[in-house]
């Protein structure tokens, strides 16, 4: 399965890391069965990449995933497939089917290592302390909508003013953290999104937004990522 990194998405994930340390609910969490499918390469690249995104941001799922990885490695792959492989070296007749099975096991093992390595790399990159010396949530605080269900008509983004700021930029992401909308530079600390955006958002789906504050010297502070949902 091919796993590619979309740079925009990866950047959004990097920015989002603070807001996602502790999930408020596990409603969106994948079932262990889906994680097993991921580990055994039985899901599509798209589903796999979605799962990885979730797992890298959800400490609960990361724990479960680690546990499953261990369990799979010890039980299914190491015990099952290495036995097959040992069997295959004993007779020419049995070699073919066994080596075929072994190659599937090896593929799963490699996929699992690749996925775990990728995940660890992401977690290390995302949580690297040099990148986030000060907690961004202490810098630009969002007021609304914050983990809220709002009606389409009343959708307005508001945040606390930051001293000395030149302008703000608001960004909205969908539930996979793909960018949906970016405002022009703003001087005020509130914006009613354009009709085009409000109409394009799907009710009952999770969206995320954040504010970047730009300073005259070129510095930039960011808010954490906050979730909101449209109720109609």
DSSP letters for 102-162: HHHHHHHHHHHHHHHHHHHHHHHHHT-GGGGSS-GGGTS-EEESSSEEE-GGG--EEE---
* Distance between CA atoms of residues 181 and 197, nearest Å: 7
The structure tokens listed for 84 are 């097959």
Binds Zn ion (CB under 5 A): choice among 43, 58, 109, 191: 58
Q: Is residue 72 part of the contact set for Zn ion (CB under 5 A)? A: no
Could you tell me the smallest distance in angstroms from the CB atom of residue 171 to Zn ion?
23
For Zn ion, the closer of residues 52 and 58 by Cβ is 58
Of 24 and 153, nearer to Zn ion (C-beta) is: 24
CA distance 121 to 197: 34
- Find the helix or strand (DSSP H, E) in which 70 lies: helix 59-72
Binding mask 183-212 for Zn ion (x = CB under 5 A): ------------------------------
- Per CB under 5 A, does 68 bind Zn ion? no
Choose the binding region for Zn ion from 21-29, 88-96, 140-148, 166-174 (rule: CB under 5 A): 21-29
61 binds Zn ion (CB under 5 A): yes
> Could you tell me the two tokens for 174?
């969908």
Give residues 140-169 in contact with Zn ion (rule: CB under 5 A): none
Q: Which of 1, 29, 106, 180 binds Zn ion (CB under 5 A)?
A: 29
- Residue pair 172/211 in contact (Cβ under 8 Å)? The answer is no
43 in contact with Zn ion (CB under 5 A) = no
Interface positions with Zn ion (CB under 5 A): 29, 58, 61
């Amino acid at each position: 399965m091919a796993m590619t990194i979309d740079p925009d998405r990866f950047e959004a994930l990097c920015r989002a890391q603070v807001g996602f340390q502790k999930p408020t609910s596990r409603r969106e969490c994948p079932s262990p069965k889906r994680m097993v499918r991921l580990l055994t390469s039985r899901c599509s690249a798209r589903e796999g990449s979605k799962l990885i995104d979730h797992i890298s941001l959800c400490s609960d799922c990361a724990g479960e995933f680690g546990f499953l990885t261990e369990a799979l490695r010890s039980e299914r792959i190491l015990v099952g497939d290495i036995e097959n492989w040992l069997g295959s070296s004993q007779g020419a007749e049995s070699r073919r089917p066994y080596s075929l099975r072994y190659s599937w096991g090896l593929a799963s093992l490699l996929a699992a290592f690749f996925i775990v390595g990728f995940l660890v790399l992401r977690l290390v990159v995302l949580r690297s302390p040099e990148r986030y010396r000060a907690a961004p949530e202490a810098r630009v605080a969002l007021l609304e909508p914050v983990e809220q269900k709002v009606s389409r008509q009343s959708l307005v983004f508001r945040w606390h003013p930051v001293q000395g700021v030149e302008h703000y930029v608001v960004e909205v992401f969908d539930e996979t953290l793909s960018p949906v909308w970016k405002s022009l530079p703003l001087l005020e600390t509130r914006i009613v999104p354009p009709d085009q955006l409000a109409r394009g958002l799907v009710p009952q789906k999770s969206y995320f937004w954040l504010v970047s504050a730009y300073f005259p010297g070129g510095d930039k502070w960011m808010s954490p990522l906050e979730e909101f949902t449209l109720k109609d």
